[in-house]
Amino acid sequence: MYSPALERLLMQAGVKVGDVVVVERAGQTYEGLLMPRPDVGDENCLVIKLKSGYNIGIFSQGASIRKSSISLQDFLSSSASSPRRFLPSFEGLAKPNQRMPVFLLSTGGTISSKVDYITGAVSPQINADEIISSMPRLHSLSPIKCRSLFSAFSEDLLPSHWQEMALGVYEAFKDGACGVVIAHGTDTMGYSAAALSYALENLPGPVVLTGAQRSPDRGSSDAEANLFCSISAAKASWAQVAVCMHADSSDRLNFLHLGTRVRKAHSSARGAFRSIGIPPIGRVDAQSGEVVISSQQIPAADYKRKIKLSASFSSNVHFAWIYPGITPKTVEKWADYDGVLIAGTGMGHAPVWASDPTSRHSILPALSQLSQSGVLLAMASQAFEGRVNMDVYATGRLLQKAGVIGHGCDWLAETAYVKMCWALGQQKDPKKAAELMLTPKSGDILSRTPLSQALPYVQD
């Protein structure tokens, strides 16, 4: 938005955003398209798109502005190049497969975003149909049915969105999907993958979450390769919730990560997603679309299976990070929640001052108080990998005694948080919810951790 003063100036001059205008300032004359103002930068600068395509900002003070004699159409055509087109040929690609369709559900995020001139940034705007139509290679994978569930940045998602997605997947399989792809923001894709792993039991086919680390409005976007791989994966015979993203920096290979064991491990790179504690469950060749499911524990697709849907999630769970200096006062404030997932240090620790648990710095009394009042408390580790073990140190033993569950669990903190939302959505009684939480589901809790995870990092 332009400043109110500038908006008035524009109104007086009878021009509006989208007009071709002439601006004169300090002896220079500029002709171009009046652009909307991004919400960054100086709101007193007019943004003009010149014929060359460049945008420039002109400070409005002392500037005169009027409508140009050139019409918008003439301006656009004079700035365009010769009208002849070379049409890309895609005839050589495989003919559409006429069997069961893949359902593509869009939920927003970078993968369905484009440049937004209001915020001056990338925002989710495109729906599933538009995504597919802008990527010709995906037509070789048709039939693809598109549905838009909602359009949001994944950092804005609520547990209720998980439910919406679970229902969307449920409906898609009911409507004959062979597999479902969910286009999702990458930030909290791991959470959603875990949520769907819990909400959808007895899946007939694959549910693949994918996204993009570079928006599709740019040539280098990873969106096309990710969608190609994900849709290819959704046509293959397996049944599990997984995240399908670039294996590394190249547009060559995508990994399939188990929905309960995946984390976004890099803020921006293409190969950001990692399987934690286990290898990826599969891979997809980004050129051929060949899918290899490497884990033998993943069942094959079976469309006679009926989904058992349990998609209610509590939205009153707290995800607490333990840090040096956390005070009992902070912990006491958790009393309003139905449950708290504690991401503790090391093997599942928190400052309980084992040698003097009643010290004023110890959070043990506060935790005990919460537990006694019926707040479900569970422990996961902040460490990147590994198991919670609250038997080794007195700290852990005190925490267990205070009612913190999770001892022995090798689970991801985010997954454990989602699982608590789900468990409390299924069971109001904290004891029963605790039981649900501790029951392994969709590979979320590893009973054994392979040695490879402990081997030293050696470069070859």
Partner 1 sequence: MLCGLEIHQRLVGSKLFCSCPSPAPDEPLEEGSYSFFRALRPVFGESGEVDIAAEFEAARMRSIEYVAPPSYSCLVEADEEPPHPLNIEHLKSALAFALFAGSSVVDEIHVMRKVVVDGSNTSGFQRTALIAHGGFISCSFGKIPIETICLEEESAGILPALGQTARYRIDRLGIPLIEIATAPVFTTPAQAQEGAKAIGLALRMLPASMRGLGTIRQDVNISIPQGARVEIKGLQDIDILPSVIENEVKRQQGLVEIIGQMKSRGISGLSASFADVSFVFSSTSCSIISKALSLGGVVLAAKLPKMAGLLGYTFYQGRRFGSEISDYAKIAGGVLGIIHSDEDLAKYAISQQEISKLCSALSIGKDDAFIIIADKRQKAEAAMHAAISRSMLLHVPSETRKADEKGGSSFMRPMAGAHRMYPETDIPPIRITKEILDMALEIKIESVQDRLLRLNSMLGPSLAQAMLRSHNYGLFEKLVSNGISPKLAAITLEQTLVSLKREGVAVDKISPERLESLLKMAEDKLITKAAIPLVLKEMALHPNLSVQKIIESNNLHRLEGSEIEKAWESCGRNMRLFLEKYRLVVDGEDIMQLAKKHGNSK
Q: Catalogue the active-site residues.
A: 110, 186-187, 264
- State yes or no: residue 73 binds partner 1 (CB under 8 A): no
Residues 254-293 that bind partner 1 (CB under 8 A): 267-270, 287
- State yes or no: residue 71 binds partner 1 (CB under 8 A): no
The residue from 4, 12, 73, 80 that contacts partner 1 (CB under 8 A) is 80
Give the contacts of 105 (CB within 8 A, at least 6 positions apart): 128, 146, 147, 148, 149, 165, 168, 169, 172, 180, 181, 182, 183
Helices assigned H by DSSP within 189-334? 189-199, 223-235, 328-332
Distance CA 270, CA 215 (A): 11
The residue from 67, 114, 305, 318 that contacts partner 1 (CB under 8 A) is 114
Which is nearest to 261 in space by CA: 247, 284, 249, 278?
Answer: 278
Judge whether 420 and 433 are in contact, CB under 8 Å: yes
- State yes or no: residue 216 binds partner 1 (CB under 8 A): yes
Residues 121-180 that bind partner 1 (CB under 8 A): 121-122, 134-135
The residue from 1, 5, 11, 76 that contacts partner 1 (CB under 8 A) is 76
Judge whether 6 and 15 are in contact, CB under 8 Å: no
Residues 39-58 that bind partner 1 (CB under 8 A): 40-42, 45, 47, 49-58
- State yes or no: residue 85 binds partner 1 (CB under 8 A): yes
C-beta closer to partner 1: residue 118 or 158? 118
| Kind and range of the H or E run holding 342 | strand 339-344
Distance CA 185, CA 303 (A): 28
C-beta closer to partner 1: residue 4 or 27? 27
Token couple for 285: 């060749």
Minimum CB–partner distance for residue 289 and partner 1 (Å)? 14
The residue from 8, 66, 174, 252 that contacts partner 1 (CB under 8 A) is 252
Which is nearest to 282 in space by CA: 262, 310, 311?
Answer: 262
Distance CA 421, CA 340 (A): 9
Work out the end-to-end distance of the chain between its first and last CA atoms, rounded to an integer number of angstroms: 54
Judge whether 239 and 228 are in contact, CB under 8 Å: no
C-beta closer to partner 1: residue 54 or 324? 54
Minimum CB–partner distance for residue 9 and partner 1 (Å)? 15
- State yes or no: residue 81 binds partner 1 (CB under 8 A): yes
- State yes or no: residue 221 binds partner 1 (CB under 8 A): yes
Query: Which residue has tokens 């009393």?
Result: 335
Distance CA 135, CA 212 (A): 14
- State yes or no: residue 431 binds partner 1 (CB under 8 A): no
- State how far Cα 291 lies from the chain centre: 23
Distance CA 361, CA 24 (A): 67
Minimum CB–partner distance for residue 191 and partner 1 (Å)? 23
Minimum CB–partner distance for residue 50 and partner 1 (Å)? 7
- State yes or no: residue 92 binds partner 1 (CB under 8 A): yes
Q: By CB under 8 A, which span of 27-35, 297-305, 315-323, 420-428 interacts with partner 1?
A: 27-35
Give the contacts of 62 (CB within 8 A, at least 6 positions apart): 25, 26
C-beta closer to partner 1: residue 76 or 392? 76
C-beta closer to partner 1: residue 19 or 410? 19
Which is nearest to 192 in space by CA: 435, 422, 457?
Answer: 422
Pairing status of strand 241-246 against strand 253-258: antiparallel
- State yes or no: residue 231 binds partner 1 (CB under 8 A): no
Q: Interface residues with partner 1 (CB under 8 A)?
A: 25-28, 30, 38, 40-42, 45, 47, 49-59, 76, 79-82, 84-89, 91-92, 114-117, 120-122, 134-135, 213-214, 216-221, 224-225, 248-252, 267-270, 287
